[in-house]
A = this chain, B = another copy of it.
Amino acid sequence: MIKKVRSHPTQNELLLFELSSPGKKAYQLPPLDVPAVDPAEALGEGNVRAEIEGFPEVSEVEAIRHFTRLSTWNYAIDLGLYPLGSCTMKYNPRVNEVAARTEGLEWIHPYQPDSLSQGAMEIMAALERALAEITGMDAVTLQPAAGAHGELTGIFLVRALLESRGNPRRRVLVPDSAHGTNPATVRMAGYEVEHVASNDRGMVDMAALERMVDDDVAAMMVTNPNTLGIFEDEIAGIARILHAKGALLYMDGANMNALAGIARPGDAGADAMHLNLHKTFSTPHGGGGPGAGPVAVKAFLEPFLPLPRLLRVDEGWRWDYDRLKSIGRVRAFHGNFGVLVRALAYILAHGGEGLKRATLDALLNACYLRKLLEPYYEIAYSSPSMHECVFSDRRQAALGVPTGAIAKRLIDYGFHPYTVSFPLIVHGALMIEPTETESKRELDLFADAMISIAREAEENPELVTSAPHSTRTSRVDEVAAARKPVLKWSPRG
């Protein structure tokens, strides 16, 4: 029985281009206080464009209604549990949004003189300090724009270091449970990917690792807890094996939400790692970003960090561009500053105690859900779960109800689905990360829904495989979308 939602009318809406009618406008500019200039004269005929074919023309009320109506077609954290495994969809305090909109922070130009940017630089310095303390590392760059960008920066650092030692080496090890960005990153840094098998405990197979690591291995990328939500308890051993052969341990810190305040990757032997500020340190995901992927490193990698670096001098902070060993910039300007502000606001709000409490609540919620669901769904690995738990659809798939169908059916029950079919090493994975900000009530409702779907899979599989039944948009044909892609609106439809 569905307890969480009821149906209600939601407004239909055309595309902007269909709404558009000539002459409508939603803007007004102040009158020009200087003489107008003839574009053709100033730029040359050939450089001036004709009107923008097909560009919309709507009124202000049509504009706000358009986006308001669209918004009502979305599910969101503000509406309920969003248990996407590996994505840490937690509630992000609204005060972060207000902080990021502070006039003196929002409207400052990256090229204004350091003397007029001290507040911004202090914020970045404070965040670097806090992240170093939380990760147990020595230095932090805030430049990368997202997790994958941080990974790339991290592997660049590894390669730059090894090159400076005379041999960049050829291979980077990646567990078969790794997130897709890991192998993709390795390739972008010019390395070959070598997959490391997981053992039956869902952890890196140490024996296999021993065999694989030689002095042609540049590094290993380890996610800890890994994408199964399992803590790699041999992590220190992994570091030892790598270090013994002159290879580095890169840690994917996307799951730091499971460790903040209780364990520090730096203490466990990681040489470099990135953090997903938009996950652990709370920037709303905004339908796909923005985020920030700071990279924290041990001292010996610090000289290679992207430039510029913050430098403390008598007058205050200065940007230091004079860094010979730096890999250079990984993007223009100083990083996603607005996201950095939100992250610092989050850390200030929690303090050390609060960060630990949040971590514990994240573990509690994940373990609680696992406990409630284990009788109905097959847990992928028996090892204890940290901040997320991963099930397999084996039992339901046998009834013709794969993980993807269960996910769609969850929508009818008023929830956003979990992460589907990842990690790849699990047969039909159901990857569930509730995060610390969910209440017991919401978790119980979710468990009820999952259990009820398990029953439906037995009694009425068709009901599940044809879901969702309640949404304004029924099952979307993704195959057709990919077969002949229509990626933009055009007048003839």
Contact = CB atoms under 8 A, between A and B. Distances in A.
A115 interface: no
Nearest to A64: B78
25 contacts: A4-B12, A5-B9, A5-B10, A5-B11, A6-B10, A6-B12, A8-B10, A8-B72, A9-B470, A11-B79, A12-B414, A28-B349, A59-B437, A59-B439, A61-B77, A61-B91, A62-B439, A64-B78, A64-B94, A65-B79, A65-B80, A68-B79, A69-B79, A72-B72, A72-B79
Interface string A264-302: 000000000000000000000000000000000000000
Contacts of A411: 9
A290 B472 CA distance: 35
Contact of A437 (B8, B28, B61, B77): B61
Nearest to A471: B8
Contacts of A319: none
A370 to B, nearest CB: 22
B78 A68 contact: yes
A3 interface: yes
A412 B9 contact: yes
A79 B10 CA distance: 9
A470 B8 contact: yes
Interface of A: 3-12, 19, 28, 59-62, 64-65, 68-69, 72-73, 77-80, 91, 93-94, 349, 411-412, 414, 437-439, 441, 470-472
Count copies of this chain in the complex: 2
Nearest to A3: B12
A28 B354 CA distance: 13
Given A9-B414, A65-B78, A72-B72, 9 more contacts: A4-B11, A5-B12, A6-B10, A9-B412, A19-B441, A61-B439, A64-B78, A64-B91, A72-B79
Contacts of A441: 19
Contacts of A349: 28
A441 B438 CA distance: 43
Contacts of A437: 59, 61
A7 B4 contact: no
A168 to B, nearest CB: 47
A19 B440 CA distance: 11
Contact of A6 (B77, B414, B472): B472
A9 B12 contact: no
A18 to B, nearest CB: 10
Contacts of A12: 3-6, 414
B5 A7 contact: no
A69 B68 CA distance: 15
A12 B470 CA distance: 14
A414 B72 CA distance: 14
B6 A8 contact: no
B61 A11 contact: no
A15 to B, nearest CB: 13
A92 to B, nearest CB: 9
A60 B91 contact: yes
A471 B8 CA distance: 5
Nearest to A411: B9
Contact of A73 (B8, B11, B60, B470): B8
A94 B5 CA distance: 31
Q: Rank and list the top 5 A-B pairs by shortest CB-CB distance, nearest first.
A: A5-B9, A61-B91, A8-B472, A6-B472, A8-B10
Nearest to A90: B61
Contacts of A9: 5-8, 411-412, 414, 470-471
Residue picked from A4, A7, A61, most chain B C-beta under 10 Å: A61
